[in-house]
A and B are shown apart, each in its own frame.
Chain A
Amino acid sequence: MTGLAPGAGRRLAPQIALLLLVILFCVFPFYWMVTTSLKTQLLALQAPPAWIFEPTLSNYRAVLIDDGVGRTLINSLIVAISTTALAIALGAPAAYALARFEFRGKKDLWFWFITNRMVSPIVLALPFFLIVRKIGLLDTQLVLILIYLTFNLPIVIWICTDQFRSIPYDLDEAAILEGASQFRIFRSICLPLAMPGVAVSAIFAFIFSWNELLFALVLTRSNARTAPAMAVSFMEGYNLPFGKIMATSTLIVIPVIIFALIASKQLVRGLTMGAVK
């Protein structure tokens, strides 16, 4: 601690206490998830719950080796990365146009893009299921990659539009005078400058896709099943394998938390980009 005046300790005490409380509040469920995943089945259902016990990795062995959770994690990864890449590829140029070009109906178009973010997935899941059934693409990663665009494209467009708006025009005006096309300006000048925004929207798209459940439940079965859908499928009313469920949950949550922590600075920017100018 640097430069604390003497006597500051007492003044800071309530602040420290409150901050610790916030940390505890945020992290405790996570702690409980991880410790439950290290308990045997009997221990996991023991009342009152044990805080000190001999941890075991048996749940992880069970879910990874017997139940094939590893494959569902890979599915989740493939789907999340592909849909994120696609959303950026489609969304970044669109955001650029929305930020930089003047055309009729621009504002309505922007509204429409963003409104997609608001639509409940259940609205789309029903018809999507019927359509996908007709064209025979049920239980494929492709379907998830495409349908996740419905919430990823709006995010990318929302965040990137703001990012492109913040880039000064002088640069591309100079480029235009030199005869550069809009594509060159976008690719060589604006896109590199907008990278922070693009990265933020990519992080968001990735997290939302990784965590998605409803579409995955409805549109996949075994081949393309994602990890959250797998975690849910352990919930048989006949027994409560909470150790296994928490082990799977931990495997799902840990990567995305690590990812989010690494990117936490950008995350905060992303949260606020559309809102706080």
Chain B
Amino acid sequence: MDFRYQASALALVSGLTLAGAAGAQEWSLEEAAKPYAGTTVDVVFLLRPGYEAAEAMLPEFEEKTGIKVNIIKQPYENSLGEQVRDFVADGDLDIALIDLVWIGNFAENGWIEPISKFTSNPDLTDPDLDIDDFFPLVLNAFGGWNGEIYGLPFDNYSGLLFYNKCMLDDAGFDGPPQTWDELKDVYGPALTKDGKYAFALQSKRNETQSADSFARVLWPFGGSFLDENFRSNLLSDESLAGLNFRQDLMQYMPEGIVAYDHAETVNAFAQGDVAMITEWSAFYSTLTNPETSQVTDCLAISPEPKGPAGRKPALGGFSLAVASQADEDEQAAAWLFIQWVTSKANAMEYLERGGVPARQSVYQEAGVAEKFSFVPSLVESWQEGVPEFRPRFAEWPEVTEIVQEWGTKIMLGDVTVEDGAKELGDRMEAVLEKAGYYDGRKPLAQ
């Protein structure tokens, strides 16, 4: 699917609607929110840096608008179930928090509204919304489904290589590895000694296994979950090469890596026990904070290493969309909040408070790249990511469970790479078959 084309078409549409609204010169948030003062909107937030940043900024919004934002905090692993249960029960969530892999599911169920419903209303929409300012890949992957934009990118990640400059220096390296093979064959043996490890790959049996571990080794080696007919592509030479690579790389990782979630991985790096990790950009604030990291002075960041098929770094993140179950006032209030929290004007504050905005403009401002050392790598990564890094179709919640189970089994050696990949592929195909992808009931979109 050519997302660039889609994104530009969308940009065109939204540009037109904005041009229509441009007549209303004196648009202000206060004015727009007046009819909705006193409205409460409910939203699920995670316990992550980007959400803390938004929460800290919230009083300003509430004061300006009189809209109350009620935050329900959930850990990531509970947040999908929480929202699904709320939506099927016609509950009270007014905003959907959408991990990019949930977008197909939420959109197909009609749980979220396309933004065009609001951007077509000049009373509600900030003339400075400037949808083109979002990184096209991010906007399309996090917020778009089937050519329609539903959510605005809010908590945005790209996989980055965080490395400990001091440890690399000591081992005689003057820079990070450029390729995955180099990481394994050159850096691996040199940095794994004296109880320290060259690398850690978070692989716990939850979404971390699917997103951070399994998919991360598929794409750079030319593999993928599905072929063009939506059959399993896991037994292709490329996919198997990636999975075998991971197996081989484990000798340079700490013991028990299949129990490592982000927290353990980042902590191992922060304690100086591991020289390199590939983690989400969001951890920049954790790793630069002396209260949570002992390696702040040694921290350096580069894009993820390349594989034979190119860079293809991990892509993940969340958009916010208006929930269909909300009534009209709540929808309007929800939209005003989403628009405000992801706005160009607030991007800098969000960044400074520890969030990662998806606004191109903020990263072009003078001094940002120097102050936030992850920025150049992030911007580079967002040029070449794969939107279907994990398929975003409605079946992902079922598929990811299978990946999590068999992905960890492969790593543990409970099954061989080939047998595990086959089993995983068969089970994945069974889900897709039931969904109707093979008999033409459903278009092949991911």
In their complex, do chains A and B touch, with some C-beta pair under 8 Å? yes
Chain A residues packing against B (C-beta within 8 Å):
41-42, 45, 47, 67, 129, 133, 136, 138-139, 217-218, 221-222, 232-240
CA distance A67 to B48 in the complex (A): 14
Contact: A240 with B292, CB < 8 Å? no
**What are 30 A-B pairs at a CB distance below 8 A?**
A41-B292, A42-B291, A67-B73, A129-B85, A133-B88, A138-B91, A217-B78, A221-B82, A221-B85, A221-B86, A221-B91, A222-B72, A232-B78, A233-B78, A234-B47, A235-B75, A236-B75, A237-B75, A237-B76, A237-B206, A237-B208, A237-B261, A237-B262, A238-B46, A238-B263, A238-B282, A239-B263, A239-B266, A239-B286, A240-B267
Contacts of A222 in B (CB 8 A): 72
CA distance A138 to B83 in the complex (A): 13
Contacts of B89 in A (CB 8 A): 133, 136, 138
B30 sits at the interface (CB 8 A): no
Contact: A238 with B47, CB < 8 Å? yes
Contacts of A234 in B (CB 8 A): 47, 75
Contact: A235 with B291, CB < 8 Å? no
Contact: A233 with B74, CB < 8 Å? yes
Contact: B85 with A236, CB < 8 Å? no
* Complex: chain B residue closest to A68, CB-CB: B73
Contact: A42 with B292, CB < 8 Å? yes
User: CB-CB contacts of B184-215 with A at 8 A, as 1s and 0s?
Assistant: 00000000000000000000101010000000
Contacting residues of chain B (276-303) with chain A, CB-CB under 8 angstroms:
282-283, 286, 291-292
Using known A-B contacts A45-B267, A138-B89, A221-B82, determine if residue A236 contacts B292 with beta carbons closer than 8 Å: no
| Max chain B C-beta neighbours (<10 A), residue from A42, A67, A237 | A237
Known A42-B292, A233-B73, A233-B78; further 17 A-B contacts with Cβ < 8 A:
A41-B291, A42-B291, A45-B267, A67-B73, A133-B85, A136-B90, A138-B85, A217-B78, A221-B91, A222-B72, A235-B77, A237-B75, A237-B204, A237-B261, A237-B262, A238-B47, A240-B267
B248 sits at the interface (CB 8 A): no
Contacts of B90 in A (CB 8 A): 136
A240 partner, pick from B48, B73, B76, B264, beta carbons under 8 A: B264
How many Å from the CB of B47 to the closest CB on chain A?
A: 4
Contacts of A235 in B (CB 8 A): 75, 77
How many Å from the CB of A43 to the closest CB on chain B?
A: 11
Contact: B75 with A233, CB < 8 Å? yes
Inter-chain residue pair count (beta carbon < 8 A): 67
How many Å from the CB of B129 to the closest CB on chain A?
A: 30
CA distance A41 to B267 in the complex (A): 12
CA distance A234 to B291 in the complex (A): 19
A238 partner, pick from B88, B204, B206, B262, beta carbons under 8 A: B262
Contact: B91 with A236, CB < 8 Å? no
User: CB-CB contacts of B97-135 with A at 8 A, as 1s and 0s?
Assistant: 000000000000000000000000000000000000000
Interface residues on B, range: 20 to 34
Contacts of A133 in B (CB 8 A): 85, 88-89
CA distance A166 to B282 in the complex (A): 65
CA distance A16 to B208 in the complex (A): 49
How many Å from the CB of B252 to the closest CB on chain A?
A: 20
* Complex: chain B residue closest to A217, CB-CB: B78
Contact: A239 with B86, CB < 8 Å? no
Contacting residues of chain B (57-89) with chain A, CB-CB under 8 angstroms:
72-78, 82, 85-86, 88-89
CA distance A231 to B286 in the complex (A): 23
Contact: A237 with B77, CB < 8 Å? yes
Contact: B48 with A236, CB < 8 Å? yes
| Max chain B C-beta neighbours (<10 A), residue from A41, A234, A240 | A240
| Max chain A C-beta neighbours (<10 A), residue from B85, B89, B204, B283 | B89
Contact: B76 with A238, CB < 8 Å? yes
Contacts of A138 in B (CB 8 A): 85, 89, 91
* Complex: chain A residue closest to B207, CB-CB: A237
| Max chain B C-beta neighbours (<10 A), residue from A42, A133, A139, A233 | A233
Contacting residues of chain B (207-237) with chain A, CB-CB under 8 angstroms:
208
CA distance A249 to B328 in the complex (A): 41
Contacts of A233 in B (CB 8 A): 73-75, 78
* Complex: chain B residue closest to A229, CB-CB: B78
User: CB-CB contacts of B152-187 with A at 8 A, as 1s and 0s?
Assistant: 000000000000000000000000000000000000
Contact: A237 with B263, CB < 8 Å? yes
How many Å from the CB of A124 to the closest CB on chain B?
A: 16
Contacts of B82 in A (CB 8 A): 221
How many Å from the CB of A228 to the closest CB on chain B?
A: 13
How many Å from the CB of B289 to the closest CB on chain A?
A: 11
Contacts of B282 in A (CB 8 A): 238
Using known A-B contacts A221-B82, A233-B78, determine if residue A238 contacts B72 with beta carbons closer than 8 Å: no
How many Å from the CB of B12 to the closest CB on chain A?
A: 37
Contacts of B48 in A (CB 8 A): 236, 238
User: CB-CB contacts of B294-318 with A at 8 A, as 1s and 0s?
Assistant: 0000000000000000000000000
CA distance A102 to B82 in the complex (A): 49
CA distance A41 to B289 in the complex (A): 13
Contacts of A129 in B (CB 8 A): 85
How many Å from the CB of B213 to the closest CB on chain A?
A: 13
Contacts of A41 in B (CB 8 A): 291-292
Contacts of B86 in A (CB 8 A): 221
* Complex: chain A residue closest to B212, CB-CB: A237
CA distance A139 to B87 in the complex (A): 13
CA distance A238 to B208 in the complex (A): 10
* Complex: chain A residue closest to B88, CB-CB: A133
* Complex: chain A residue closest to B48, CB-CB: A238
How many Å from the CB of B267 to the closest CB on chain A?
A: 6
Contacts of A236 in B (CB 8 A): 46-48, 75-76, 263
How many Å from the CB of B146 to the closest CB on chain A?
A: 28
How many Å from the CB of A68 to the closest CB on chain B?
A: 9
Contacts of B206 in A (CB 8 A): 237
Contact: A221 with B75, CB < 8 Å? no
Contacts of A47 in B (CB 8 A): 271
CA distance A144 to B262 in the complex (A): 34
**Pairs A-B, 3 closest by C-beta atoms:** A237-B261, A236-B47, A236-B75
A239 partner, pick from B47, B78, B85, B271, beta carbons under 8 A: B47
Contacts of A238 in B (CB 8 A): 46-49, 76, 262-263, 282-283
CA distance A235 to B46 in the complex (A): 11
* Complex: chain A residue closest to B261, CB-CB: A237
CA distance A218 to B208 in the complex (A): 22
User: CB-CB contacts of B322-358 with A at 8 A, as 1s and 0s?
Assistant: 0000000000000000000000000000000000000
